[in-house]
Amino acid sequence: MKTSLLYLFVLSTTLCSTGVMAKKPGIKTVRHVKGFKFQPFQVNTSRYLTATPDYYQYAPQIIDVITGKKVTLPDLLKLPGVPRPPRVAYGAGFYERARILKEQGKYWAWYSKQFIYYNAPKQLAGVWLVRSDYPGTGKGRARCPKGGPAIFMPFKGKHFCPESGTYLSHTQFREVKRAWYYHLDLKNKKVAWRVKVGDDAMRPMVMNASGSALMLHTHFFAKSKKAGPSTVTFHRLNLKTRKLDWKHTVTLPTRFKRGTLHHPGLSFHVSKEMTKIFMCEYDEKDRRHPSGYLKSPTARGYIIDISKRKHHTITVPVTTYGYVFDDTSEYLYISSHQLGTILKIHTATGKVISKTSTHRQTYKLLISPSGKYLYSFHFGGIRIFEAATMKRVNDLPLSRLAPGTSRLIATARVLPFTTGHFIMPLIDKIKGSSAAISSSKPGFTLYKIIE
């Protein structure tokens, strides 16, 4: 009897040590939420989502993904301290009334507005606003080159010269964009403070977990070699000092596609602790271009070290859809949608440590809360790797995300949270098949990563 018990104990220990009986990493469905159209920019990386606000009634709806509790904020653009653009009555003569205000330097409008930060315990919020100003010209009604008055054409939005049959340029009413950050006190319903960030419509990337810094990047415009280098500049806004305290510029190669100047499209990703940034060019292959369109050089990626103010330039595969840093930012994982490969890159050197084959049509990578596992999302489900060795440890079919389905026909958005959760849009099964697609109806499903 003792021998049998000893044998069972040794067998059990052996099985557990070899992983046969060990619990495999996976996911758990927490809840489905319907009727909530979430915006992709995460106002809080720990647990909060915001619905896309109405353009005219800018009162965002917030949901705590952990508890499911919803709250609607007041109209953020009507809080005391937020300027309101001049109202121009619609109807006949609208363009002429706007023209007069522009000539007087009294017309301006919000070019864009984005709700980017929310802190529930402290009742704080942040809004990124880009304002379009039209400096006054003092020239009165626009004049034609031959001296006669120009006729304003409201449906064109331009001034027409009858004697020459041409339109005047817009230089008289040159638009100037200025980016502002407004920090809002929701408890007292007022602007706590504001800061003019720059004379450029910069784009916010992510707010750090503590809400003390915001990472930004400038717009990318493809330029010919004669016009000068194409660049992207990254900035960090320190919310404690209310100043831009970090800056780094990356120069990109001039690109041509089918003989014309080409904007390849850029993707951006910031590490969790805001120590590294990854930016890469988009390229794709087809029958006539089996290795991609971008040549001399091929598609490039850039790993920016924020503290050192330096970056490594690396070669990236076509359709680099997935990218994620590990928790220490020592390694970067990127995946190719068309090739079905995952590269593990050492961020300090830019060198590829390993290359792993996986499903084609991989579109998202996540790191588990412990940093031990890499979750790879593809059209057929999720493949899980041990992050250190890139050894495959589990495969989850799509039916684990949406019962009765076997394959997506398009990529689905995946938003991770630092609590070990992630959300995806509701998934609809296509009638008469097991194929599926992200639902057009507002809503999402909350999942928890199981290690």
- Residue 194 within a domain: no
Peptide bond into 297 cis (omega under 30): yes
* 401 assigned to some structural domain: yes
Give the pLDDT confidence score for residue 100 in this predicted structure: 81
The answer to whether residue 139 sits within a structural domain is: no
Strand-strand pairing, 381-386 and 373-378: antiparallel
Q: Which domain holds residue 297?
A: 23-46+255-451
pLDDT at 140: 60
What's residue 157's pLDDT?
A: 66
Quick check: is 345 in a domain?
yes
Contact 265, 284 (CB under 8 A): no
- Domain assignment present for 62: no
Counting as low any pLDDT under 50, the low residues of the chain are 1-20
* Total tally of structural domains belonging to the chain: 1
Q: What is the pLDDT of residues 155-201, one digit of tens each?
A: 676 778 888 888 877 665 567 889 999 999 999 999 999 999 987 76
Residue 13 phi, psi dihedral angles, 5° rounding = -65, -40
In a domain, 156, yes or no: no
- Whether 284 is in a domain gets the answer yes
Beta carbons within 10 angstroms of residue 210's beta carbon: 10
Residue 138's pLDDT is 56
Q: Which pTM does this prediction carry?
A: 0.86
pLDDT of residue 155: 66
Judge whether 154 lies within some domain: no
Q: What is the CATH number of the domain that holds 411?
A: 2.40.128.630
In this structure, how many other beta carbons lie within 10 angstroms of the beta carbon of residue 79? 21
Closest by CA position to 127, among listed 135, 118, 136: 118
The pLDDT score that the predictor gives to residue 385 is 98
Task: Note the pLDDT of residue 211.
Answer: 87
| Predicted pLDDT at 30 | 95
